[in-house]
Amino acid sequence: MLDKYYEDPAMISYGEDIRDWGGAFAIYRGFADSLPYSRLFNSPISEAAIVGSAVGYGLCGGRAVVELMYADFIGRAGDEIFNQLSKWQSMSAGILKMPVVLRISVGAKYGAQHSQDWTALCAHIPGLKVCFPATPYEARGLMTAALNGTDPVVFFESQRLYDMGEMFREDGVPAESYEITIGDTNTVKTGSDITLLTIGASLYKAVEAAKELEEKYGLSAEIINLHSLVPLNYEKIVESVKKTGKVLLASDACARGSFLNDVARNISEMCFDYLDAPPVVVGAQNWITPPFEFDEFFFPQKSWILDAINEKIVPLAGHVPTVDFTSVEQMRKAKAGV
């Protein structure tokens, strides 16, 4: 973002506590030393005003990066995101541009109203590009691509990952500028026996599960992180699933209505003749998010991934399940609405 400020004099950023504290999660730390208040400033506590004014500024030819402190507050800017940000380019036949990046953090330890992954809501709306990087390399490359374009981009960021360094590239994050094409996927680990597809922080649980699968059960897992939800290039996904014949998909979003259900359906159609078992989606429980002390019972864990593989895809010799993934339990939960 700081690089783009020097390239584009019309770029501004604002949100709650952006300037004084460097943002609620210190993303803008140090920016105030380089940028005047007119280009980096605090907003009122009004998500509708934040997004609505960014839409107007974009329509007038400006570039805005604005922030919603939690994904749970998307509803406060529902019309502005779903009807305005997403549609003005199309409604004007491309004459009007919408170079707006809406940064949205996904909480993890702040209870019922501050810990929800609502990526599926934005992915459902035509006209929005939707990103959710899970590594520093992905975050920089995707943000660069978003800032170099003129389309509206909803940019989700997990609060679980703000303090995590780059773990999957030996050379870390390049010092020079680079772009990641929005829609590409990131093959984090190659394997031959099962494909694990992830969104957001669930990548790291999948890495733990893959290690145990290999060391304890002799199964080689390929891990692909979907750092972009919309658009989404299925080429590497299909290639991987055709190779392994098995696929599990995981994210921190509640399983009911998860974007991964749509991905699983597409995989079923594209790879039907190659699958040894149906695709399996592992998500958070379909409950209201509990306090942080119950985190391990709500969000997907390494053990959940192994349990789902054992029950739904391929038996793991000697595995003792911790969570019930049987069809009977699936029906019981659906009937109870949980």
Q: Using an 8 Å Cβ cutoff, are 305 and 196 in contact?
A: yes
Is a pLDDT exceeding 90 seen at residue 21? no
The per-residue DSSP string of 18-53 comes to TTTSSSTTSTTTTGGGTS-TTTEEE--S-HHHHHHH
Coil, helix or strand at residue 305: helix
Per-residue pLDDT tens over the stretch 203-225: 999 999 999 999 999 999 999 99
Is a pLDDT exceeding 90 seen at residue 20? no
What number of other Cβ atoms are within 10 A of residue 3's Cβ?
12
The shares of helix, strand and coil residues in the chain, as percent rounded to the nearest 5, are: 40, 20, 45
The pLDDT of 63-77, averaged and rounded, is 97
Query: What is the band of 110 on the pLDDT scale with cuts at 50, 70, 90?
Result: confident
Pair of tokens at residue 212: 């145990």
Give the CA dihedral 287, 291, 293, 298, nearest 10 degrees. 20
pLDDT of residue 211: 98
Per-residue pLDDT tens over the stretch 301-322: 999 999 999 999 999 999 999 9
Is a pLDDT exceeding 90 seen at residue 291? yes
Query: What is the band of 259 on the pLDDT scale with cuts at 50, 70, 90?
Result: very high
Q: Which residues pair with 153 in a beta bridge?
A: 101, 129
- The pLDDT mean for the chain works out to 96
Q: Based on the residue annotation, tell me whether 114 is a catalytic residue of this protein.
A: yes
Is a pLDDT exceeding 90 seen at residue 130? yes
pLDDT of residue 134: 98
Query: What is the band of 329 on the pLDDT scale with cuts at 50, 70, 90?
Result: very high
CA 153/CA 128 separation, integer angstroms: 6
pLDDT of residue 142: 98
Is a pLDDT exceeding 90 seen at residue 30? yes
Nearest to 203 by CA among 153, 159, 249: 249
The pLDDT of 12-20, averaged and rounded, is 94
CA distances from 106 to 11, 71, 132, 239 (A): 24, 5, 10, 30
What number of other Cβ atoms are within 10 A of residue 250's Cβ?
27
CA 298/CA 5 separation, integer angstroms: 40
CA 9/CA 267 separation, integer angstroms: 44
E strand or H helix that includes residue 189:
strand 186-189
**Domains plus CATH for the chain?**
2-161 (3.40.50.970), 186-336 (3.40.50.920)
What is the number of H-type helices and E-type strands within the chain?
Answer: 12, 12
Nearest to 191 by CA among 222, 214, 225: 222
Q: Per the residue annotation, which of 114, 124, 227, 319 is the catalytic one? A: 114
CA 153/CA 127 separation, integer angstroms: 9
pLDDT of residue 109: 83
